[in-house]
Amino acid sequence: MSMAIGIDIGGTKIAGGVVTADGEVLATVTKPTPAADPNATINTILAVIAELRSNYEVTAVGLGAPGFIDNSRSKIIFSPNITWHNEPLSQKISSSTQLPVILENDANVAAWGEFKFGAAQNHHTAAVITVGTGIGGGIILEDRLIRGSYGFAGEIGHMNMVAAGRLCGCGANGCWEMYSSGNALVEYARTRAAQTPADASKMLELAGGSPAGITGLIVTKAASEGDRAAQDSFREIGKWLGRGMVNLAAILDPEVFVLAGGVSEAGDLLRVPVAESFKENLVASDYRPSPLILLAKLRNSAGLIGAADLALEAVKKKV
């Protein structure tokens, strides 16, 4: 049975798993990311791989990392969270493990996981939108993961949505993720709680009475319990997500959109307003097939499953 190790490298944790060719996760290991020290991060990745290899015979390693990955899938050009610049990560991991290694953007591996084994399975064209602290994306066109000419495709969170809009961490103004990410959800909720506390009683109760104490988890819990301001905050980011997805639909015409990432775990609190906004803004919506808008199935495992499967695919092509 072919198996590979998939590694999902995040700013706070490194998650690894042994994954079969059928997408089954046999074992997992998670360790904190020493993000301030790039070399320590590499050593942590190697420690995760070593622990997983101690009980399983694997044929390859797939790495999903945040940032810009070159099109050869060997080097991290830039990663803002781990301060990697032109880092030959694939080569370093391969030299230490003596295994074939492929490197891919973290949103791309999550998208591939959902495409092969999750919500987008049995579809040929999909856009997977990772709604977390920011917004990431992965695009599958006719069964192929789209990386672009230089490896940077799928950075959909930085589509410009508002001219001279809010300043984004990337340095531009008006990026999509400034209006429809997890950070945006919390910002909307805190502002609403400060302005109309009577509508945010549950959020404020959970936050100890202070709008500044409101977190994404609090917004979700309060919304599920009927808090009007929390529900309105989901409707606000849903409105912006739907508008951005209409732009993607005009370019990609996907069969399915998959909402992934931490915010998607709110379920229909997010999906329903997104679907309503999408239908409201889609050109000729009454006369064309509308793509499905689904919630991710693999949740936190999507990245490591997708990374492992891409590694197995790469090995298969070389045989």
Q: Which of 37, 2, 29, 1 is nearest to 13 (CA)?
A: 29
For 304-313, how does the pLDDT look when each residue is reduced to its tens digit (9 = 90+)? 999 999 999 9
Supply the DSSP symbol for 213.
G
For 55-93, how does the pLDDT look when each residue is reduced to its tens digit (9 = 90+)? 999 999 999 998 899 888 889 998 877 888 899 999 999
If you average pLDDT over residues 180-206, what whole number do you get? 97
Distances (CA, A) of 244 to 216, 284, 310: 21, 16, 28
CA distance 200 to 65: 37
0.85 surpassed by pTM: yes
Residue 217, CB-side half-sphere exposure with 13 Å CA sphere: 3
